[in-house]
Amino acid sequence: MGNPEEQQICIKAEEQELHFDVLDMNNYRIEKLPKVHKSGFEKWMARLGAPIAVSVFVMIYYFSDFSFLDFIDHSALKGDALKRFNELGADKFLRINYAMLAIFATAIILWITEAIPNYLTSFFVIIAMVLTGVTTEKNAYAQLGHPVMWLNILSFILASMLVSTKVAKRFALWFVITFGKNATGVFMSFILINIVLSIFISATTAKATILLPIFMVVAAIFGASPQNRNNFGRNIVLQNLFQINIGASGFITGSGANLLAGSMIAGAMGWSIFSFQDWFIASFPLAICLIIIGWVVGTKLLFPMKPNEQVPQIDGGIERLKTEYKSLGKMTVNEFKSIVIFVAVLSLWATDKQHGISQTAVAFMGAFVALLPGIGIIKWNEVDIPWHLMLFSAGAYTLGAGLEATDLASTIVEALFSHFGISIETPFWMLFTGLTFVMLFSALFFESKTMRALIFVPIAIGIAQKFNLPILSLALPVALLIEHVYVLPFNSKPAALLYTTGHYSWSDTFKFGFVMLLISWIAMIIYGETYLRFLGYTPNGVFF
């Protein structure tokens, strides 16, 4: 029977279970979800990460002699790299390449192992690049004021506007109530909800936070719970995880990693910023196709639902959602204002090439109106800006600036191609399929989308330059695959968050995720040969 203390714990647990209302959205707030504790392997990674990172930095910077750095083609340098070469001379320029390689490798180790918080790794990156002379203090510190950094901050202000006025919640509840009479209607509703939220909210974790209580209640209505798993529950959570990420890929504002990739491509192209319109036209059709394919694969093939799982199981379940919706009351003036600002900002973003006003400037105007006393909607203390993520992003942009100042990515590409005997005659399709494959399946091992963007977008740019190909022919397809981080719980924060719902197992998410990675790779190859070729991004007649 156990001791009296254990009996009391069991009794309390049983009482809590008896009083747990599966249809109460408050039960699914993030702070009430089970915490995912690090496994033994993850704990060891965190413990060993710092000493390994320090050792790698010291070995590369002070003791290594990498012959591949001899591949630096000084005559081909341009932009910041040429400027640094002229300032420092050949010998010192080679030295800062060693420094950049050491800092890059150290940062990757610290970000992967999470030995220290990600924003502290960014602190290390910024100061290390200054002290080793990779870049100047002005350039290193200025990354916090990068236009894309401002766009990130302003996007969080606009997202806070939608959340604080409860427009986002009202919109999601209304859609599910209106179209959620059966399973198909529910899934279609969440597809549209995820796409709309992706336009404005550049944090996939924030979208997951908004939607989680809603789809958890919907799961309960259709008879699914962590204790009573069924295929509707598996699908509703896994589909939302997939849609949260892939929906973000359709818009450059969909995530900070998209903004970073767009910034690096724009820099290589000599542009000030990557157009919202250009990204949308190139990426949105693929995002929609993959979301629909993911719905078919999940609900029809991998986790087919029984007839009784496709209709509400709890009497009055939808009524509870209606009660939640009615509790929001009538639309307030601030809600109408936020919708007007939302539509105005979106319209200006979508037509940025026509009027010439940058995405950041448009977001500035929207945030200004939203915060304006007497006219605006929210106060500054109601704005939720995750500054630790901003500092992490600042370090990532500084790392990108360092790669540009040293031209290290192109040097590494040159060395690798020479080592493996890859010649200039290598057909484009081999480069395209190889890069997209590596980008997609690297998501199995990396935890940060930003990290993958930092590694693979510069490599794609370097390969395009080496083969005298248009930069966008390789860099843009690679950038469009950044958001594929849904296979395993540690692949992204939304994946870790949604795994705690208990509606699916590791094998469930791996089965669905891995199949979608394969499908996405094939889809990207077809997309490159057809739509991207039509837009002029990929060369004609390179695949078939």
Question: What is 390-410 written as a DSSP string?
Answer: HHHHHHHHHHHHHHHHHTHHH
pLDDT tens digit sequence for 415-426 = 777 766 676 678
Rounded distance between C-alpha atoms, residue 208 and residue 485, angstroms: 14
Tokens of 403: 């790669």
Tokens of 84: 């640094």
Rounded distance between C-alpha atoms, residue 100 and residue 401, angstroms: 10
374: burial class by Cβ within 10 Å (0-12, 13-18, 19+)? exposed
Q: Which of 153-162, 174-183, 369-378, 490-499 has the highest mean pLDDT?
A: 369-378
pLDDT tens digit sequence for 501-540 = 889 998 999 999 999 999 999 999 999 999 999 999 998 7
Rounded distance between C-alpha atoms, residue 62 and residue 55, angstroms: 10
Give the number of other CB atoms < 10 A from CB of residue 105.
16
Helix 79-88 × helix 387-406 angle, to 10°: 70
What band does 38 get if pLDDT is binned at 50, 70 and 90?
low
Q: Alpha helices, DSSP H only, in 222-316?
A: 231-249, 256-269, 276-296
Residues 530, 543: contact at Cβ < 8 Å? no
Rounded distance between C-alpha atoms, residue 440 and residue 518, angstroms: 9
Residue bearing tokens 């033994």: 40
User: Does the pLDDT value for residue 237 go beyond 90?
Assistant: yes
User: Does the pLDDT value for residue 398 go beyond 90?
Assistant: no
> Which positions ≥6 away from 415 have C-beta within 8 Å?
67, 68, 69, 71
User: Does the pLDDT value for residue 1 go beyond 50?
Assistant: no
Identity at 259, one-letter amino acid code? L
Rounded distance between C-alpha atoms, residue 419 and residue 246, angstroms: 36
Supply the pLDDT for residue 80: 77
> Which positions ≥6 away from 491 have C-beta within 8 Å?
443, 444, 446, 447, 485, 513
Tokens of 423: 């010649």
Question: Which of the 8 DSSP states describes residue 59?
Answer: I
Of 426, 442, 323, 393, nearest to 155 by C-alpha is: 393
Residue bearing tokens 């990156």: 125
Tokens of 252: 């450059």
Question: Which of the 8 DSSP states describes residue 331?
Answer: P
- The residue extents of the domains of the chain are 40-534
**How large a percentage of the chain has pLDDT more than 90?**
34
User: Does the pLDDT value for residue 404 go beyond 90?
Assistant: no
Rounded distance between C-alpha atoms, residue 109 and residue 53, angstroms: 6
The pTM of this model reads 0.78
Q: How far is CA 294 from CA 40, 119, 255, 291, 311, in A?
A: 33, 34, 20, 5, 21
What band does 308 get if pLDDT is binned at 50, 70 and 90?
confident
Vertex 317, ends 315 and 322: CA angle to 5°?
A: 135
3-state secondary structure of 371: helix
Of 408, 456, 119, nearest to 264 by C-alpha is: 456
3-state secondary structure of 114: coil
Rounded distance between C-alpha atoms, residue 509 and residue 103, angstroms: 34
For the chain, percent helix, then strand, then coil, each to nearest 5? 75, 0, 25
Give the number of other CB atoms < 10 A from CB of residue 83.
12
Helix (H) or strand (E) holding 121: helix 118-131
Question: What's CA 265's distance to the chain center, in Å?
Answer: 17
31: burial class by Cβ within 10 Å (0-12, 13-18, 19+)? exposed
Mean pLDDT of 347-356: 87
First to last CA, the chain: 72
Of 508, 518, 528, 517, nearest to 485 by C-alpha is: 517
For the chain, state the CA radius of gyration: 25
User: Does the pLDDT value for residue 544 go beyond 50?
Assistant: no
